[in-house]
Structure 1
Amino acid sequence: MGDLLSQPGNRRARLRALLDAGEPVLAPGAYDALSARLVEQAGFDVVYMTGFGTTAGLLGRPDVGLLGGAEMAAHAGRLADAVDLPLIADADTGYGNPINVIRTIRDYERAGVAALHLEDQVMPKRCGHLAGKQVVPAGEMTAKIRAAVDARTDPDMLIIARTDAAAVDGLDAAIDRARRFADAGADLLFVEAPTSEAHIERVASELSGHRLVFNWAEGGRTPALSRERLAELGFALVLFPVGTLLAATAGMTELLARLRADGSPAAMLERLGGLDAFAELAGIGEIRQLEDAYRNDEKG
């Protein structure tokens, strides 16, 4: 677990090893440090910082490019500090031109991110499963990928190149862009929001030989495929970006409706658990151990 004094080791090398193992790596989304800890406690090997969830959690707004690079990098640092897992993070468009991308990569590296994805949308961007997207010219995005690769100081840091061109210019254009991004040095390719299983199969077939990302966006535009089917198609990394956010929102909505109706949450307390149980989940045991360890020094 991500204890206060833990030494997580080389999480970037661990992520590379997981991707080399030959099975799809499952990366549940986390929108804050607590949800990241819950992903780790559930036994997953990787956690994903969702841009959609980060925007919802920090601003209470939809993912339409309202957060800047410094805010996103700072948030990534909080998640990375909370867990020992490799963290994959949304870096949106890189927040500008190739020069801005250089700073973004360095900021995310310092935050402890193991991998990040950059997308080819026009700023301000929007969630890949919302309508109204626009993409920059392919050459402009290729330059950003080259800048990202050049900017990383740790060769184990993974650069994921995402294209949203399928919804704008068609699947052929998206696949062509993905190839160009691979030639520019991207470690993984991410064709966002294919809308049919046939399109998913085409992406997997035509980009065979590259490490591919599948965005299992809960309730999004892409059909839901099983882990076994994704393994057959050769996808290396599977993101589940917003399930934790949607589950938390549904739970809070239910609680507030009950509180409004009854005047108290008493009817739900058994399901909610108590403060003591939550404090244990959040790591109060570790805090007590550290307090005991340092108490004698304080007395001296």
Structure 2
Amino acid sequence: MGDLLGTARTPRARLRELLTAGEPLVAPGSYDALSARLIEQAGFDVVYMTGFGTTASLIGRPDVGLLSGAEMVDNASRIVAAVDVPVIADADTGYGNAINVVRTVRAYEQAGVSGIHLEDQVMPKKCGHMSGKAVISREEMAGKLRAAVAARQDPDFVLIARTDAAAVHGLDDAIDRAKAYADAGADVLFVEAPTSEEGIERVATELRGVAPLVFNWAEGGRTPPISLQRIGELGFSLVIFPIGTLLAATAGIRSLLEVLRAEGTPQSALPGLPSFGEFTDLIGLPEIQKLEQRFASE
């Protein structure tokens, strides 16, 4: 866990190791510090900070470019502080041009994030599985990636290049862009939202050996759901499940509120929830109690 008095950590080097382990690295989506702690406690080796979930949780709105870079970095810093495992964060378009990308990379590094993905959408962007997207030129995006490479101070900080061109110009252009982004210095490639298993296979085949690949298992999105075994067979290095935790939390809250509305109290719903003691334990109360004893005045 991300203990208050935790020792020095090297999560970025750990992320590099995990990406080359030979099996797909599974990264559930986190939208706040609590969901990040739950992901770590469930035994996962990495946390993915979802922009979709961050937007929904912070302002209750859809992922259409409404949050600023500062708001995203602020959420990332809280998530990083809550866990010891590496955190990969959505950095949208970098929040401007190549010069803005320089500042964005520095800000995420200072927040303790282990890696980010930058996308080639026009700002304001949209969720990768929504319609109506537009993309910048591949030359402009390549320049932004070169700026990101020049800006990072820790060589272990992972830069993921995402292209949303498949929905705009087709899969051929998306694959060509991904290759150009690797040439610009991206460590990992992310072709967003192929809409068929054939398309998924093309991405994997044509980009094999260029750089490690991301598969976005967007719950309910446009990409067909395939098994983790198949994802591994195709050679993807990282698979993100961005919004399952958010959807589950929404369903749980709705269920509790329905009981409260119908019955006047939540009593009948409590057996299905963590107890007060269980919850305070999972968010670190025992650590606080130990620290209180350690630093108590004599």
Fold match (TM-score > 0.5): yes
Q: What fraction of aligned residue pairs are identical, expressed as a percent?
A: 67
Q: Tell me, in whole angstroms, the C-alpha distance in 2 between the residues paired with 1:35 and 1:262.
A: 29
SS at match of 1:94: coil
Task: Supply the RMSD in Å over aligned alpha carbons.
Answer: 0.7
Equivalent in the alignment of 2:113: 113
| Counterpart contact for 1:25–1:236, Cα < 8 Å | yes
Note the 1:253-272 alignment, pairs <5 A.
253-272=254-273
Equivalent in the alignment of 2:67: 67
Per-residue deviation at 1:159?
0.2
SS at match of 1:264: coil
Per-residue deviation at 1:273?
2.8
The answer for unaligned runs of 5 or more in structure 2 is none
Equivalent in the alignment of 1:290: 291
Per-residue deviation at 1:165?
0.3
SS at match of 2:256: helix
Per-residue deviation at 1:74?
1.0
| Counterpart contact for 1:8–1:84, Cα < 8 Å | no
1:61-82 CA-to-partner distances (Å, cap 9, x unmatched) read 0000000111111110000000
TM-score, normalisation: structure 2: 0.99
SS at match of 1:161: strand
Per-residue deviation at 1:177?
0.4
Matched to 2:10, the amino acid is N
Equivalent in the alignment of 2:3: 3
Equivalent in the alignment of 1:277: 278
1:30-77 CA-to-partner distances (Å, cap 9, x unmatched) read 000000000000000000000000000000000000001111111100
Equivalent in the alignment of 1:26: 26
Equivalent in the alignment of 2:82: 82
Equivalent in the alignment of 1:238: 239
Q: Does 1:140 align with 2:170?
A: no
Q: Tell me, in whole angstroms, the C-alpha distance in 2 between the residues paired with 1:207 and 1:17.
A: 20
Q: Tell me, in whole angstroms, the C-alpha distance in 2 between the residues paired with 1:135 and 1:265.
A: 48
Equivalent in the alignment of 2:183: 183
Q: Tell me, in whole angstroms, the C-alpha distance in 1 between the residues paired with 2:274 and 2:33.
A: 20
Q: Tell me, in whole angstroms, the C-alpha distance in 2 between the residues paired with 1:247 and 1:273.
A: 15
1:75-99 CA-to-partner distances (Å, cap 9, x unmatched) read 1000000000000000000000000
Matched to 1:143, the amino acid is G
Note the 1:170-209 alignment, pairs <5 A.
170-209=170-209
Q: Tell me, in whole angstroms, the C-alpha distance in 1 between the residues paired with 2:174 and 2:19.
A: 23
SS at match of 2:237: strand
Q: Tell me, in whole angstroms, the C-alpha distance in 2 between the residues paired with 1:289 and 1:240.
A: 35
Q: Tell me, in whole angstroms, the C-alpha distance in 2 between the residues paired with 1:7 and 1:92.
A: 31
Equivalent in the alignment of 2:102: 102
Q: Tell me, in whole angstroms, the C-alpha distance in 1 between the residues paired with 2:239 and 2:269.
A: 34
Matched to 1:226, the amino acid is S
Q: Tell me, in whole angstroms, the C-alpha distance in 2 between the residues paired with 1:273 and 1:185.
A: 46
Q: Tell me, in whole angstroms, the C-alpha distance in 1 between the residues paired with 2:135 and 2:8.
A: 37
Matched to 2:151, the amino acid is A
Matched to 2:194, the amino acid is P
Q: Tell me, in whole angstroms, the C-alpha distance in 1 between the residues paired with 2:164 and 2:198.
A: 17
Per-residue deviation at 1:206?
0.5
TM-score, normalisation: structure 1: 0.98
Matched to 1:249, the amino acid is T
Per-residue deviation at 1:21?
1.0
| Counterpart contact for 1:214–1:238, Cα < 8 Å | yes
Per-residue deviation at 1:139?
0.7
Q: Tell me, in whole angstroms, the C-alpha distance in 1 between the residues paired with 2:6 and 2:197.
A: 43
Q: Does 1:164 align with 2:151?
A: no
Q: Where in structure 1 do 4 or more consecutive aligned residues deviate above 4 Å?
A: none
1:239-288 CA-to-partner distances (Å, cap 9, x unmatched) read 00000000000000111111111111111011113222110111100000
The answer for unaligned runs of 5 or more in structure 1 is none
Q: Tell me, in whole angstroms, the C-alpha distance in 2 between the residues paired with 1:163 and 1:7.
A: 37
Q: Tell me, in whole angstroms, the C-alpha distance in 2 between the residues paired with 1:257 and 1:127.
A: 30
Matched to 2:78, the amino acid is R
